[in-house]
Homo-oligomer: A and B are copies of this chain.
């Protein structure tokens, strides 16, 4: 009875555990998690802060129900300190008691996720300065929010924007500081402008191109942000850092697992590392980008779950292959739907890939069927091959599934001429006779040599 050991009890780790056990119920599967909770929706944490959902409803399984319903042992609050591949053992300590524990394995999965990359400025160790990476973070922020009216968010990425919306819904004053000259650097500046407009429309103070010099405080607790804008100190009783994360690969590296050039754990298409029998999956690994055809870093829950699934299948001796990802995401920013897939103009430039692009704005359904809503669509194609390589959709109309249509076309390497003729569904309650995607494709066709 082979022993499968999994370090990390969230999307990648638990999906792998469940999948392996399902394929081969005789396997002895054990999951170790450093924190108190497993199996919760990390993407739902901002909505916990907004009091839209409870912590309980974010959790799918407790260690007990996971064991009972799936036959998988789970140890929480155990920190793995080292992995000895030659002895096929992992050593750790119980966080509460300090007791040393040891786990033997035949096959191991490292799914240790990410760690925050805080900015190198004074004051980030003050009380009421947080990152939001896990449920424990969220519960701590929730507690501190009770006595905080003025909140500063440093970094305007996915988490920063979602939390900005959620805290505005609680009536907090929110000031967003972003070092780049635009919010949400995962979309092009022209699309980011629409997002910035929406943030301002709902009363978020937005400072782009901001140079935050220090967090300042009193009695060990943050009370302001010092930035180079010359406006003195911006008051802030609570600060959220959304200044980036990096793969949490220390444990793997010390065990002799190869780390890639991007800093993630290097894996093959079966999610196996350079050490036979040791697998890795989720945000700690390098993910194959199906457009660039090389490994990149990806911090997306759906990708982590897919990689976990493939890792679980291969650990259970079913040979399957992870086909890669293309960076498809969607984000709600107040009333605005913001979605992107593939490469942005900037990302394509970084690959030295000449592109053509077009942006259109259109109603999302038949003009006479209320309520029609505006959507902006930007499409990007490789100039040489005319294949679609990127799409961004920002608007009050449907964006989340439209971006999936573009993602599917990009995955297939579809030329824009074919994309412009896609047979998409139409009926007045749902869409317009020419879907905004097709109108954008027609504009893109005109944009390049025919």
Interface residues of A (CB under 8 A from B): 11, 41, 43-44, 47, 52-53, 57-58, 60, 290, 300-303, 305-306, 322-332, 337, 339, 341, 366-369, 398, 400-405, 407-409, 411-412, 414, 418, 421-431, 433-435
Contact = CB atoms under 8 A, between A and B. Distances in A.
Given A47-B369, A330-B430, A404-B422, 18 more contacts: A43-B426, A43-B433, A44-B366, A44-B368, A52-B369, A302-B424, A302-B433, A324-B423, A325-B423, A326-B423, A329-B425, A330-B426, A341-B423, A341-B425, A404-B404, A405-B405, A407-B424, A411-B418
Contacts of A337: 430
A368 B302 contact: no
A328 B43 contact: no
How many copies the complex holds: the figure is: 2
Contacts of A305: 433-434
Contacts of A427: 43, 329-332, 400
Nearest to A330: B425
A328 B435 CA distance: 13
A101 B368 CA distance: 35
A60 B424 CA distance: 22
Nearest to A401: B401
Contacts of A11: 433
Nearest to A298: B423
B426 A408 contact: no
Given A332-B427, A428-B43, A433-B302, A422 B408 contact: yes
Given A53-B368, A369-B47, A422-B411, A430 B302 contact: no
A398 B322 CA distance: 27
Contacts of A330: 425-427, 430-431
Contacts of A57: 367-368
Contact of A403 (B53, B301, B339, B425): B425
A327 B366 contact: no
A41 B290 CA distance: 41
